[in-house]
Structure 1
Amino acid sequence: MSGTGVLVVVDDNEAVRATVAMLGGSVGLDVVEFASVRQMDEGLPRDVRGCLLLDMRLPGLSGIPAIHHVASNYPGLVIMVFSGHADARTVVRALRAGAVDFFDKPFSNQELLEAVQAAIAGQAEAPWHGRPAVTADLSVLMRTLTRKQRTIVEMYRAGLGERTIAAKLDLHPRSVQRHLQNAVERLGVPEETLRGMQDGDAEGQ
């Protein structure tokens, strides 16, 4: 395994592991695959450096405890998680546990690959001092919303009123209110504070 160019994927879905291996290999990364955290512990050196893609639902050690385990035992790995069944609260917990990014399944191959490359490049450019500090990024939480909810929230944060948003999206104002309320509940922040929030402000709300 070479320097900072190691991509580790832990997922019990063989098709997901194959996709990640193909993506990593396409840009010259060494890719190591495991079906569980236990297999990872048995086959991966603790001083490895690189990026880990960790599924949130695994046989054996899984979810937030798995993130804590990896963060404690593999300080040279930047942790990213993905799941097909996570809400905003789970995303916040994952970020606070030590993950730096979250991806829904099915994920965008390009978006995932760019995030992995950025994480590995960041390690190569800076001296190794262990895992960087993590804050819950609103932009990551926004990915848990539906496309329509995300659009309405972005317009609301830009300062547009509900009636203006309704007119621009050809929706009834009550529909905008409902979508906004549902989005606010998923993000876990009060509606009155949402308009002034910037990326990175979600933690602690």
Structure 2
Amino acid sequence: MAAEPVVHVIDDDDSAREALAFLIDCAGMQVRSYSSAVQFLDSVPHMEHGCIVTDVRMPEMSGVELVDRLKALKIPDPVIVVTGHADVPMAIQAMKAGVSDFLEKPFSDDAILNAIRSALARRSGREEADAEREAIKTRMATLSQREKEVLDGLVEGHANKVIAFDLNISARTVEVYRANVMTKMNAGSLSELVRMVTTARLTG
């Protein structure tokens, strides 16, 4: 069972940070808080994953610089940036850098909680997709070289006779390999097999 996701709150304003952490805790979500981006980065090697809520304007390292650092570290957790009115251009820069969302102060409790829940839902969906892709790749790895060649032909939409001609084997032999591929891949139909292979070949 996957660990409960954690919301990481980063803000150098003690009262704002504590108030937001309290709100998230009351909403039934796990929360950790940090007084700076640097302090948060120190925790990254041991962090519990979930999502990150960070103020944009902070000493030592801004929210935008933090987003860039997280990308370099390949941290997949979605990031929500919180900004004052004067910092909106900086927040837009963060959006271009790939953050999940940004909220301008003052924001309502519902607005921030909805943004957090949406970010966590997207992360959960991505994790499930990654798990499915890895499971399909594992099944594909069990195929023999000839089975992989037949699989490639099937995914290209070729008929058994065409695959047989291309591989210089009989159509009956292709049928045998095709049946083996369907069994090993646990595919109930050709369309499902094509979907599986397409999923496995997706990146990111």
How does the TM-score come out when normalised to structure 2?
Answer: 0.56
1:113-132 → structure 2 map (5 Å cutoff):
113-127=113-127
Tell me the equivalent position of 2:34. Answer: 34
CA apart distance, 1:26: 1.6
Q: Map 1:82-93 onto structure 2 (within 5 A).
A: 82-86=82-86, 88-93=88-93
The equivalences for 1:1-205 within 5 A come to 3-45=3-45, 48-73=48-73, 75-86=75-86, 88-127=88-127
Residue 7 of structure 1 contacts residue 32 of structure 1 at CA under 8 Å; is this kept in 2? yes
With over 3 angstroms needed to count, the CA separation of the structure-2 counterparts of 1:129 and 1:79, relative to structure 1, is: farther
Identify if the C-alpha distance between structure 1 residues 116 and 110 changes in structure 2 by more than 3 Å, giving closer, same or farther: same
In structure 2, C-alpha distance between the alignment counterparts of 1:84 and 1:63, rounded to whole Å: 12
Change over 3 Å in CA distance of 1:51–1:101 after alignment to 2: same
Unaligned regions of 5+ residues in structure 2, if any? Answer: 131-204
Shift of 1:111: 0.7
Q: Residue in 2 aligned with 1:146?
A: none
Counting aligned pairs with the same residue, the percent is: 29
Note the C-alpha offset of 1:88.
Answer: 4.9
Which string of whole-angstrom CA distances, capped at 9 and with x for unpartnered residues, describes residues 33-75 of structure 1? 1011111122233664211111111110114222211232252
In terms of fraction of residues, the more helix-rich structure is: 2
| Partners of 1:65 and 1:129 in 2: CA distance | 29
| 1:89-134 Cα shifts (integer Å, max 9, x gaps) | 333211011211111122211110011012112222342679xxxx
Residue 82 of structure 1, CA deviation = 0.8
Q: In structure 1, how many angstroms separate the alpha carbons of the residues matched to 2:52 and 2:117? A: 12
Q: CA RMSD in A?
A: 2.3
| SS in structure 1 of the partner of residue 33 of structure 2 | strand
Cα distance in 1, alignment partners of residues 76 and 4 from structure 2: 9
Give the Cα–Cα distance (whole angstroms) in 1 for the partners of residues 43 and 94 of structure 2.
Answer: 24
Q: Cα distance, 1:10 vs. partner?
A: 0.6
Number of equivalent positions? 129
Q: Which amino acid aligns with 2:81?
A: V
Q: Unmatched 5+ residue regions in structure 1?
A: 131-205
State the TM-score, normalized to the length of structure 1.
0.56
